[in-house]
Amino acid sequence: MNWILKKISNSKFGNNINKFIAKKFPSKLEQANSKYISCHGMPTDKESLKKNNMVCPECNFHHYISPTSRYNMWFGQNNWLEIKSAEPPSDPYRWEDTKKYIDRLKDAKKTTGQANAILSCEARINNIDVVMSAVDFKFIGGSISMAEGENVLTAVQKAIDKNVPYIFVSASGGMRMMTNILSLMQMTRMTIAINELKAAGLFFGVVVTSPTTGGTAASIVSLSDICVGESGATYAFAGRRIVQAQTPSELPENFQTVEYARNKSGQIDLVLDRKDIYPTLGKILSILLKKNSAIKTVENETTENNKTLTEAS
């Protein structure tokens, strides 16, 4: 629910500022079409960022990437298989605020190319079969509703059926308000799935990317066996603004980042740059599952062969 709290900054006060500076700053559409993106206070070439998986070569800021881009970067374009899930009724509340929820959904589907905010797949990390889910923050703030919950359930079921590890990459504002209580129920439903996964003796890994807050942080994300944070990512339960309202003093620097969660609150095992996450997960999996990577297996075989040869001689 906290992605939404950010939007408070767009309330009256924010609007006035926006009006004041509207002429100086380009619109969203202009930004999307521009060759440049603003980073470390400078226009930065998008193409060079893309080559570097949207990590700024100058300041190491990790710009957002979609689940599809992450899968392509990790596995290669054709080396992952999407897991599709059933679609529950999407708008039982017939919700309408300043905009109809079905229109918001339509827009989100169009811009992200996804059926819901979560994209799940079967793939291999370091030659080890895994099932993965990743959240698309551009899909209504990566908020979780019924379709997203159902997607997680389907993916976890797949992991249990295949007897393989499950990895969840989060970027979510929490539970979606437009399906209110039915969204909230997904916290419990996803937890049931993870409980079943663990009961089957399978590994559950989480990668926290920016931003991960609210009910998503307070359910599936906090239940990992091992939790990796992506450098600089926001990781919180309550939004910074809300916490600041409860606190007379300035909030600590780095407050609610994965670095802070690792060093201060002990909620994250390790923080890694984007490029290091895949190889590290591979190492973790091969150690925990006691499986050697492809190259090492071949080496072992040859040494064994040598042994038998020497023994024979």
Interface ranges with Zn ion (CB under 5 A): 39-40, 56, 58-59, 61
* Residue 265 found at the interface with another protein (CB under 8 A): yes
Least spacing, CB of residue 310 vs Zn ion, in Å = 56
* Residue 132 found at the interface with another protein (CB under 8 A): no
* Residue 1 found at the interface with another protein (CB under 8 A): yes
- Amino acid identity of 245? A
Sorted by sequence, the CB contacts under 8 Å of residue 62 that are 6+ apart come out as 54, 55, 56, 209, 210, 230, 231, 232, 233, 273, 274
- Give the interface segment with another protein, choosing from 48-56, 84-92, 119-127, 291-299 (CB under 8 A): 84-92
Nearer to another protein by C-beta: 265 or 306? 265
CA distance 192 to 117: 20
Give the position of tokens 């399978």: 202
Least spacing, CB of residue 92 vs another protein, in Å = 7
Nearer to another protein by C-beta: 254 or 300? 254
CA distance 6 to 203: 33
How many residues contact another protein, by CB under 8 A?
Answer: 68
Q: What is the DSSP string of 11-22?
A: SHHHHHHHHHHT
Nearer to Zn ion by C-beta: 59 or 298? 59
User: Which x/- pattern, by CB under 8 A, does the window 152-191 give for another protein?
Assistant: -xx-xx--x--------------x-xx-xxxxxx-xxx-x
* Residue 309 found at the interface with another protein (CB under 8 A): no
* Residue 7 found at the interface with another protein (CB under 8 A): yes
Q: In this structure, what are the phi and psi dihedrals at residue 52, rounded to the nearest 5 degrees?
A: -105, 30
User: Where are the extended beta strands (E) located within the chain?
Assistant: 36-39, 42-45, 81-83, 118-125, 128-135, 166-172, 204-212, 226-230, 270-272
* Residue 21 found at the interface with another protein (CB under 8 A): no
Give the position of tokens 């990437």: 65
